[in-house]
Amino acid sequence: MNMSVVDQIKTAASAAIKALYQIDIHPHEVLVNATKPEFEGDYTVVLFALVKQLKKSPDALGEEMGKTLLEANPGLFSGYNIIKGFLNLSVADNYWLNFLDTSFADTTFGFSKPNAEKVMVEYSSPNTNKPLHLGHLRNNFLGWSIAEILKATGNEVAKTCIVNDRGVHICKSMIAWQRFANGATPANTGIKGDHFVGDYYVKFNDAYKKEIQELVASGMSEDLAEKEAPIMKATQQMLIDWEAGKPEVMELWRTMNGWVYEGFNSTYQRIGSDFDKTYYESNTYLLGKDLVETGLQKGVFYQKDDGSVWIDLTADGLDEKLVRRKDGTSVYITQDIGLAEQKQKEFNASQSIYVVGDEQNYHFKVLKLICQKLQLPSADGIYHLSYGMVELPSGKMKSREGTVVDADDLVEEMVNIARLKTEELGKVKDFTPEELTELYDTIGLGALKFFLLRVDPKKKMIFNPEESIDFHGFTGPFVQYTHARIRSILRKAAGNGEWSMINDKPDSLFTIDHSPLLPLEKALLITLEQFPVVLQEAASEHDPSKVAIYVFNLAKTFNSFYSEHSIANAETEEKKLLRLQLSQLTAQALKNGMSVLGIRVPERM
């Protein structure tokens, strides 16, 4: 990535201070903001932070720096003014025109060249007792998107998933299937495998509640009834049999998990989620046991009289944490430490990002601390991308009660809303049935992804399907529509022979008219130039919402520019070519920005 205009201004300001006052101030210490709309200029150097150190009044400092910057960087600056301690700089038109000329035909605009960094992103992490739901969608879209943003900024990325395929939750579905299914399968009922198994998880809870009520009615306390309910005792016995490798239990477990994986895979394919490696808890739950021994030898862990092993994290502001039970079995944190070590050996990543809901914040603090105390090579790179829960306007969801919004149902609903809204607009009369199916899919999924990614991951959010598909709001379809509109403009220009195009790229660069850029032309160029910087910020802050906000603002800026300035009937031929170049680069930035969010942009809609 070439140095952004803001970085160039910081570097130039640092050099000017050195030349004027023989004082070294690092470019990063120079504060540069976009100039406020009511003032003349493009970028503003904030002088207050420098006044004390340089022993100058803000106005004198601004005047001396402005003059020096202009003389030393004629290709970068065209003018300056000082307002109350702020140095407002106007960037020369030639700078923007040169940027446009070198960028407008670049299909990889915004993306960085590969660097040597390896990053691992773990997301999705489903349980095999239920289908993927709305919360999983936010998780998958966040994980997939942050992986793509990291790739776009030059990193080598491995996408991983850990499937929670063992434990009492799947035993509940298995027991319920044995008792109530009468040999039913996904194949003979026509029900998708993950939904089929999820139905038996709900059936288990219905039966369990009923048994508790019966025991309480016969005089037993509720606490005791929860432990003594026959269906729960059978489930616990099944877990013991599974851990002992009892053949018929293993057979049923493999069969039912197989149904679930088939269902998961079709959902992943539908939503565009993929993984380079999938781990299964049934293969990893014994990991980390040797690390407990290592930790005991190093004095990181200590053993209690009952034989259980703990770590004392009170000095780190946390509490004491169990890492091995007295019966020698491991706990979740132990498995996670073992898996962190295994993943590090396999991928040798400098950063390992876990996309997990904010209810696990404490768990990941503990995981990172223990790994650091054990001096595992992966420890410092552990990062918990914590996100808030998603609720519907009607409130929270509960899988035990079967009140969860299934991912598959939601995707279908979104595609259906996309169809209805598009038909209302009535602009797709000349589309074939196949093109319409593709378009509704693109709009529906695009709306869903954009709405779930446009919010800072740390914030809780309410998902509103109708609002997410508004063609005029802060939505995916608004950005998609702007892209389609620009592609239509470019096709018309190409059809008129005004814009020689080969494979969507102009076959020659044009000598652009050097008449002054109009305010909206310049505003669009300034926004476009920020795209690589926004991608870098989104990568370093693990926040795809920065990209969503950027593409929305870019689309808005383009629409303002287009409603004000004609392209086909531009004042001069040079202006027409300038605006076509601007349109082409805008379309590319929208396409590239949406692509890292996992969203397709149509050529027409």
pLDDT of residue 51: 85
- Quote the percentage of the chain above a pLDDT of 90: 83
Q: How far is CA 398 from CA 201, 257, 395, in A?
A: 12, 21, 10
Rounded to the nearest 10 degrees, the angle between the axes of helix 407-425 and helix 134-152 is 80
Residue 2: its pLDDT value, please? Answer: 76
Q: State the burial class of residue 307 (Cβ atoms within 10 Å of its Cβ: 0-12, 13-18, 19+).
A: exposed
Q: For residue 338, how many other CB atoms are within 10 A of its CB? A: 20
Any idea how long the chain is? 605
| Separation CA 101–CA 505 (nearest Å) | 13
Question: pLDDT band at residue 249, thresholds of 50, 70 and 90?
Answer: very high
Q: Fill in the amino acid letter for 117.
A: E
| Radius of gyration in angstroms for the set of CA atoms belonging to the chain, rounded to a whole number | 30
Is the pLDDT confidence value at 501 over 50? Answer: no
| Domain formed by 5-91, architecture | 2-Layer Sandwich (3.30)
Contacts for 119 with CB less than 8 Å, ≥ 6 apart: 147, 150, 155, 156, 157, 158, 349, 350, 351, 352, 353
Give the pLDDT of residue 278: 97
pLDDT digits (tens, 9 = 90+) for 526-568: 999 999 999 999 999 999 999 999 999 999 999 999 999 999 9
Q: List the domain boundaries for the chain.
A: 5-91, 167-280, 407-596
The pLDDT value given to residue 496: 74
Q: φ and ψ at 551, to 5 degrees?
A: -65, -35
Q: What is the pLDDT of residue 366?
A: 96
Task: Tell me phi and psi for residue 115, to 5 degrees.
Answer: -115, -170
What three-state secondary structure class fits 6? Answer: helix
| pLDDT for position 569 | 92
Measured between alpha carbons, how far is 342 from 160 in angstroms, rounded to an integer?
Answer: 13
> What confidence category does residue 274 fall into, taking pLDDT thresholds of 50, 70 and 90?
very high
Q: Which fold has domain 407-596?
A: Isoleucyl-tRNA Synthetase; Domain 1 (1.10.730)
446 Cβ contact list (under 8 Å, min separation 6)? 476, 477, 480, 594, 599, 600, 601
* 373 has pLDDT over 50: yes
- Which of 515, 518, 501 is CA-nearest to residue 581? 501
Q: What b-and-e string marks burial along 93-104, b requiring 16 or more CB atoms within 10 Å of the CB?
A: bebbbebbeebb
Share of the chain above pLDDT 70, in %: 95
Predicted local confidence at residue 396, as pLDDT = 55
pLDDT at 505 over 60: no
pLDDT of residue 509: 42
CA distance 59 to 551: 37
pLDDT of residue 503: 38
Longest Cα separation, the chain:
93
Mean pLDDT of 74-89: 94
Chain segment 232-246, per-residue pLDDT in tens: 999 999 999 998 999
Global pTM value: 0.92
Residue range 476-485: mean pLDDT, rounded: 97
Q: Which of 83, 95, 81, 100 is nearest to 41 (CA)?
A: 81
Tell me the pLDDT tens digit for each residue of 323-357. Answer: 999 988 888 899 999 999 999 999 999 999 999 99
78-82, 289-293, 513-517, 586-590: range with lowest mean pLDDT: 513-517
Instruction: Quickly tell me which residue has 């870019």 as its tokens.
Output: 554
Cα 336 to chain centroid distance, Å, stands at 23
Q: Give the per-residue pLDDT at 285.
A: 86
The whole-chain average pLDDT of the chain stands at: 92
Q: Considering only CA atoms, which of 454, 449, 429 is closest in space to residue 546?
A: 454
Higher local confidence (pLDDT), 512 or 303: 303
DSSP 27: G
The arithmetic mean of pLDDT across residues 168-187, rounded, is 96
Per the structure block, which two tokens stand in for 89? Answer: 């700089």
Name 33's bridge partners.
44
Per residue in 380-389, pLDDT (tens digit) is: 999 999 999 9
Rounded to 10 deg, the angle between the 361-373 and 332-347 helix axes is 60
**Residues 98-102: contacts with CB under 8 Å, at least 24 apart:** 99/525, 99/528, 99/529, 100/512, 100/525, 100/528, 100/578, 100/581, 100/582, 100/585, 101/509, 101/512, 101/581
Q: Which of 171, 142, 313 is nearest to 237 (CA)?
A: 171
Q: Which two tokens stand for residue 432?
A: 């074939």
Tens digit of pLDDT for each residue in 37-51?
999 999 999 998 888
